Amino acid sequence: MSSAPAQIAVTGLAVMGRNLARNLARNGFRVAVHNRSKSRTDALIEEFGHEGEFTPADDLPALVASLEQPRKIIIMVKAGEPTDAVIDELVPLLDEGDIVVDAGNAHFADTRRRENALREKGLHFVGSGVSGGEEGALNGPSIMPGGSPESYAALGPILTKISAHVNGEPCCVHVGPDGAGHFVKMLHNGIEYADMQLIAEAYDLLRQVLGLSPAELADVFRDWNSGDLESFLIEITAEVLSQVDPTTGGPFVDVVLDQAEQKGTGRWTVQVALDLGIPVSGMAEAVFGRSLSGDVVRRSAAAGVLPGPAEAKADVDRDAFIEDVRHALYASKLVAYAQGFDAIRAASEQYDWDIDLGAMATIWRGGCIIRARFLDRIKEAYDRNPALPSLLVDDYFKEAVANGQEAWRRVVATAASVGVPAPGFSAALSYYDGLRAERLPAALIQGLRDLFGAHTYRRVDRDGAFHLDWSGDRTESPA
Ligand code: 6PG
């Protein structure tokens, strides 16, 4: 325990808050800690008090009183109403210039609202993404802080110190003002959803088409983890697939109910992307895939009833098919990231955030759930061209997809012919083909819209909007 004023506080000591507080203390910061029910505060001090200088507080006034100014208080409670409740209780206790940080998975629109409300009271509100789960919070997460530059001037030295580091660089930068940090964290989660969906499709295809066992598949993923696909999620896929169920002695993955749950950040990403007009088909398929998995009523009505292809096995060479699926996974993953970065760019323009896209790749290189070797390639792509219209047109990505595209197409075709669902792989390929098309069938859609609703169309050879007199003599007139 410490007698000097604490440098930072954490309120909300469930596992993420507790680990974040421990991380701060282990890095030499004097940390004030508080939890609504005191038992958690006591448990933290009892079990981990020796790790650094903690100041336990029984209530928020005591927490506030224990801090040096400007006060820095991290809220780590459930997103939504619990966060508002803590803010409402804290605000009257604070002085101008104090900084309130919400490190939960808040919706960025809530963060914008809260930032605005606290700014009017002379306080800084920082919505900060924190990724890496319990382990990351303790040993170095990826941190995505929003809020004012002034607040980051005070918080930056603390947050960068406790964040993960890759090649000596912290996985923490100031993302941008108000809700920018939480927006980027939301996108991180959207990409996490897409990544996991693609991994699951790769697993399913290899298992169903080649008949590989989970243990054999674990070896495949272990092998992939030494190449371009190297990432935390591929690494833990091998771990989950090699796990044996202690009760049955069979593969763990076979005793787990096949209904994926979701807390909402993936869904938010897709909802927000719809509003921004940015296709994030990889993430959308991942969210829909989870919804379908949980739709027990319709699944049980259809399973074993709706017919599929007569032959579920494809005539493929084992090693060649594994390599094809690896290419399909990598190419589809690149599409998911390209779409994710498009959404960040669009939001940055819409909200005037001025987000440095290359820096976002840097902060995701370590600590977070989507940490991966190829994030370096994204950073390099934006270094080469900060105004890159799509990651897919960068030379590295263009070549990576070009190298794998035949394999990718074979995998999608095989999935369709054997009746194994691969919505992530196929949506990614369709996006890629749509993006590179010289001409899309949207022209026909425009014709239809003009015919049934006089919605007008634009021409390839002249400026302006036009309408055809469909029910009359079919002459064209400017709209
Ligand atoms: C992280 C994770 C974390 C959490 C997800 C899970 O970055 O540390 O993304 O935020 O594990 O929110 O989300 P679902 O429950 O929706 O899968």
The per-residue pLDDT for range 226-249, each reduced to its tens digit, is: 999 999 999 999 999 999 999 999
pLDDT higher than threshold 70 for residue 179 = yes
- Return d(Cα 84, Cα 256) in angstroms, integer: 36
CA of 189 to the centre of ligand 1 (A): 6
- Where do we find the tokens 């976002």? 360
Kindly report, residue by residue over 250-273, the tens digit of the pLDDT: 999 999 999 999 999 999 999 999
Q: Express each pLDDT in 317-330 by its tens digit.
A: 999 999 999 999 99
Q: Is the residue at 406 inside a domain?
A: yes
CB of 35 within 8 A of CB of 41?
yes
Tokens, residue 427? 């949506």
Same domain, 222 and 277: yes
Are 115 and 244 part of one and the same domain? no
Q: How many structural domains does the chain have?
A: 3
Q: How far is the CA of 106 from the centre of ligand 1 (A)?
A: 12
**79 appears as a binding residue in the annotation:** yes
Is any ligand 1 atom within 6 A of the Cβ of residue 195?
no
**Domain containing 464: what range?**
441-478
Question: Does the Cβ of 134 fall within 6 Å of ligand 1?
Answer: no
- The alpha carbon of 79 and the centre of ligand 1 are apart by a number of angstroms equal to 12
Which 3 state secondary structure label does DSSP give 465? strand
pLDDT tens figures, 281-295: 999 999 999 999 999
Pocket test for ligand 1, best of 128, 195, 265, 287 (most atoms within 8 A of CB): 265
- From 148, 174, 200, the end of a domain falls on 174
Please report, as a single letter, which amino acid is at residue 348: S
Q: What is the pLDDT of residue 283?
A: 98
Residue 346 inside a domain? The answer is: yes
For the Cβ of 131 lying below 6 angstroms from any atom of ligand 1, the answer is: yes
Q: How far apart are CA 330 and CA 326, in angstroms?
A: 6
pLDDT at 158: 98
Both 122 and 230 in a single domain?
Answer: no
The number of CA neighbours under 13 Å toward the Cβ of 403 is 13
User: What is the per-residue DSSP string for 398-416?
Assistant: HHHHHHHHHHHHHHHHHHH
Residue whose CA is at the smallest distance from ligand 1 atom 2: 131
Question: What is the pLDDT, as a whole number, of residue 134?
Answer: 95
> Residue 179: inside a domain, yes or no?
no
| Residue at 1 is within a domain | no
Residue 2 has pLDDT above 70, yes or no: no
299 and 381 housed in the same domain = yes
What number does the ligand 1 atom closest to the CA of 266 have?
A: 16
My answer on whether 45 and 124 are in the same domain is yes
Is there a domain that residue 52 lies in? yes
Residue after which a domain boundary falls, among 174, 195, 211: 174
Taking all residues of the chain, what is their mean pLDDT, rounded to a whole number?
97
Residue 94's contacts (CB-CB under 8 Å, 6 or more residues apart) are 64, 71, 100, 123
The CB of 281 under 6 Å from ligand 1? The reply is: no
The Cα-based distances of 412 to 291, 344, 425, 427 in angstroms read: 22, 28, 7, 10
Among residues 423, 365, 366, 436, the alpha carbon closest in space to that of 397 is found at 436
Q: What is the mean pLDDT of residues 13-20?
A: 98
Cα–Cα distance, 286 to 291 (Å, whole number): 9
242 lies in the same domain as 109: no
Q: Which residues are CB-neighbours of 117 under 8 A, at least 6 positions away?
A: 125
Of all protein residues, the one whose alpha carbon is nearest to atom 11 of ligand 1 is: 133
Q: Is the CB of 192 under 6 A from ligand 1?
A: yes
Asked if residue 180 belongs to a domain, the reply is no
Q: What is the pLDDT of residue 310?
A: 84
> In this predicted model, what pLDDT tens digit does every residue of 323-357 receive, in sequence order?
999 999 999 999 999 999 999 999 999 999 999 99
Residue 369 has pLDDT above 90, yes or no: yes
- pLDDT recorded at residue 436: 98
Does residue 1 surpass a pLDDT of 60?
no
449 annotated to bind ligand: yes
What pLDDT is stored for residue 313 in this prediction?
74
- Going by CA atoms, what residue is nearest to atom 4 of ligand 1? 133
Distance CA 475, CA 469 (A): 5
> How many residues appear in the chain?
479
Contact 331, 426 (CB under 8 A): no
User: Which atom of ligand 1 has the smallest separation from the CA of 193?
Assistant: 17
Percent of the chain with pLDDT over 70: 99
* Final residue before a domain boundary, out of 131, 155, 174: 174
- Mark whether 327 and 350 lie in a shared domain: yes
142 Cβ inside 6 Å of ligand 1: no
pLDDT of residue 312: 66
Note whether 58 and 200 are same-domain residues. Answer: no
CATH number at residue 474: 1.20.5.320
- CATH number for the domain that contains residue 30: 3.40.50.720
CATH code for position 375 = 1.10.1040.10
**How far is ligand 1, taken at its centre, from the CA of residue 325, in Å?**
26
Give yes or no: residues 275 and 411 share one domain.
Answer: yes
> Is residue 197 in contact with ligand 1, taking CB distance under 6 Å?
no
Per the domain annotation, does 277 fall within a domain? yes
Q: Based on the domain organization, do 159 and 85 belong to the same domain?
A: yes
Token code pair at residue 229: 């696909």
CA of 122 to the centre of ligand 1 (A): 32
120 and 249 together in one domain = no
Band (pLDDT 50/70/90 cuts) for residue 311 is confident
Residues catalogued as catalytic = 185, 192
**Strand-strand pairing, 99-102 and 72-75:** parallel
Q: Is any atom of ligand 1 closer than 6 Å to the C-beta of 269?
A: no
Say whether 78 counts as a known binding-site residue: yes
pLDDT in tens, 399-439: 999 999 999 999 999 999 999 999 999 999 999 999 999 99
Distance 446 CA to ligand 1 centre (A): 40
Kindly state whether residues 160 and 289 are assigned to the same domain. Answer: no
- The pTM (predicted TM-score) of the whole model is 0.96
Q: Is residue 305 part of a domain?
A: yes
Mean pLDDT on 369-398: 95
The token duo for 258 is: 């096949």
